[in-house]
Structure 1
Amino acid sequence: MARSEQELNSKNAAAVTMLKRAVELELESQYQPALVCYQEGIDLLIQVLKGIKDDTKKRNLKKNISDYLNRAENIKKYLDQVKEDGKHHKQIKIEENATGFSYESLFQEYLNETVTEVWIEDAYIRQTHQLYNFLRFCELIIKRSCNIKTIHLLTSLDNGNVKIEQINALEQIKGSLRNHGVLLELEYSSSIHDREIRLNNGWIIKIGRGLDYFKHPKGKFSLGYCDFDLRPCHETTVDIFHTNHTKKI
């Protein structure tokens, strides 16, 4: 058997295996992995098609490819509709001491030109490092959401001198945001307990530890002090989902 024919047979066998798995996953309602398997299997069949000379075989294979393309397209439409209907849910589990989870890495895909208003509910925007966390998140919003107009923060007040420093720091952030044409609305509550971020484009981000999931750096000149993708994290869970009816905090 010629080498080219062997390669075609090998690719065809791989395609059959991949597409069989795609059908099984689809029947199990595992649509996202099924779509991936369909796409890979179809790609293999297209490669096989290019090497076939017999017209009848070509015609039959084209029909098979067309059928699988239709199934893949139907799954894609379904997944897009699920996302549009607000049923999308993504969970990210951050392990203890894990790195690579800066605000930008986690949230930049949800912060785009459609975002004009953001609500942040986090009881612990009080200590200096927590205030810097909030400032970093505001910087990300400014960079990614070119049409942002208002940021709402609901947090709790600290006690004593720390309370004064907290208020002063938040007022400085408010003034800095104003220079970028963004209004920061501050609200304080002694009974706040939820930690979440809501975007007016429908995305909701819930973080078990709020914005304060980074560990303290070992020193001012250690990796991760400036780049939070290199900063070790505390263990926490991030849930990101979409709703067509975002409620204000």
Structure 2
Amino acid sequence: MSHNNVPGMEASAVSVLKRAVELDNSSRFQEAIVCYQEGIQLLLDVMKVLKDESKKAHYREKIKGYMERAEQIKSHLVREKGEGKYHEQIKIAENATGFSYETLFKPYISEVLTEVWVEDPYIRHTHQLYNFLRFCEMLLKAPCKVKTIHLLTSSDDEGNLSQQTSALTEIKQSLQTHGVTLDIQFSSTIHDREIRFDNGWIVKIGRGLDYYKKPKSRFAVGYCDYDLRQCQETTVDVFHTKHTKTS
């Protein structure tokens, strides 16, 4: 780690911690914790290569403050989860960016996560099937040990049933080679959209997984990187429950 890179590392740490404070002020506590932890780690890395003692002392003080705040939030969350009162709301604005599945779900994925339930009536058209595949890919890359993904969706009654069936079969076979079982069920009455993790988190997105706008073209920014893709306006509600296993 070169000393020349210190300004860049400092800037990263400052921007991540600034984001943590913004999330904290918006009561998006679970997300704030993730940012506090990342920012604190970045500052610790900066301190390892800093020569200036007064700057080190300044950062030590800052880290202490951020750590205390992160601990306070953790205690608050533990209490709320214990009382079954946890509820966090994220509003995604029209044309907002920065909401890839990785970014949105990261705060709720932990090492103990092994089973996921996705209820979304609209995993039918090509782009929706790709959204579901991207969601599965995100879980495979995340720091968890997902073994089973349950999908409950509705059959495509617009003549694309064979495409929906074959695509889901291909996703199922592909996931199997990665040691993950995909259990697919169809319901004609499903309406609600929710994603449940067996570590207690329930995420309800107004538009389900299909909250991205179509890119302007196949070679437009945001076509490949979903953090750069514009979103449609929607609301994400996050709950926590201790009774998570469904029969």
Same fold per TM (> 0.5)?
A: yes
Residue 81 of structure 1: how far off its partner (Å): 1.7
In structure 2, the CA distance between the partners of 1:230 and 1:76, relative to structure 1 (3 Å rule), is: closer
Q: 1:157 maps to what in 2?
A: 155
Match of 1:188 in 2: 186
Match of 1:36 in 2: none
SS in 2 for 1:137: helix
Residue 174 of structure 2 aligns with an amino acid whose one-letter code is S
Query: Counterparts in 2 of 1:167-206, with a 5 A limit?
Result: 167-206=165-204
Q: Measure the CA separation in 2 of the matches of 1:178 and 1:150.
A: 10
- Of residues 92, 114, 117, the one that matches 1:116 is 114
What corresponds to 1:98 in structure 2? 96
Deviation at 1:108, TM superposition (A): 1.3
Unaligned runs of 5+ in 2: 1-26, 30-67
Superposition deviation, residue 76 in structure 1? 6.3
Inter-partner Cα distance in structure 2 for 1:76 and 1:191: 39
* Structure 1 residues 237 and 81: CA distance shift in structure 2, 3 A: same
Deviation at 1:90, TM superposition (A): 1.1
Where do 1:48-127 residues align within 5 Å? 77-127=75-125
Task: Give TM-score, length-normalised by structure 2.
Answer: 0.68
Deviation at 1:145, TM superposition (A): 4.5
| 1:240 and 2:238 are equivalent in the alignment | yes
> Unaligned 5+ residue runs, structure 1?
1-29, 33-69
Q: Structure 1: which amino acid aligns with 2:133?
A: L
Could you tell me which of 216, 221, 224 is aligned with 1:223? 221
Per-residue CA distance 1:128-182 (angstroms, 9 max, x = gap): 0000000000001111143111000000011254110000000000001000100
Q: CA–CA distance in 2 between the matches of 1:75 and 1:198?
A: 23
Larger Rg: 1
Deviation at 1:78, TM superposition (A): 4.4
The alignment covers a number of residue pairs equal to 182
Q: TM (normalized to structure 1)?
A: 0.68
Letter of the structure 1 residue corresponding to residue 166 of structure 2: N
Please state how far the C-alpha of 1:73 moved relative to its aligned partner: 7.9
Higher mean displacement: 103-112 or 147-156: 103-112
